[in-house]
Amino acid sequence: MKGMTPKRITALLIAILLVVLYVITLVAAIFDPTKSGKLFGMCLFATVAVPLLAWIYIWMYERVKRTEGDTSRGLTTPPGPTPEEVLREIEKEEVIEETEAVEENE
């Protein structure tokens, strides 16, 4: 078995959460049948909502990792330039503009 990735950890936690939710719903329905309908509705909602929220979390996590230049999965998106590199480029452009302005005046 490979190492535990964030996807596997999240999927395992969601599966455990849903099983616990089903057990609690069953036990509550046995001991208090008057509220079993409401608990069943909440359980159905959680069965759809919890995995959907987990999928959104995993999707966002991968998007953030991809923008940081993660290459562990073959993603080769390079990280953006550092602030120092941006400043150097701006200074180069300013020097070029000044040089062109001097040459035009001569």
pLDDT in tens, the chain (106 residues): 567 887 888 889 989 998 998 888 888 888 888 878 888 888 889 888 988 988 898 888 888 877 665 555 555 556 677 888 888 888 888 888 888 877 777 6
* Model pTM score: 0.50
Torsion angle of the four alpha carbons 20, 25, 31, 33, in this order, in degrees rounded to the nearest 10: 180
pLDDT at 61: 81
Task: Determine the 3-state secondary structure of 67 from DSSP.
Answer: helix
Angle at 60 between CA 54 and CA 63, to 5 degrees: 145
Residue 11 near residue 21 (C-beta atoms within 8 A): no
Query: Residue holding tokens 């909440």?
Result: 42
Buried b (16+ CB within 10 A) or exposed e, 63-102: eeeeeeeeeeeeeeeeeeeeeeeeeeeeeeeeeeeeeeee
pLDDT at 16: 93
Helices (H), the chain: 6-31, 36-67, 83-105
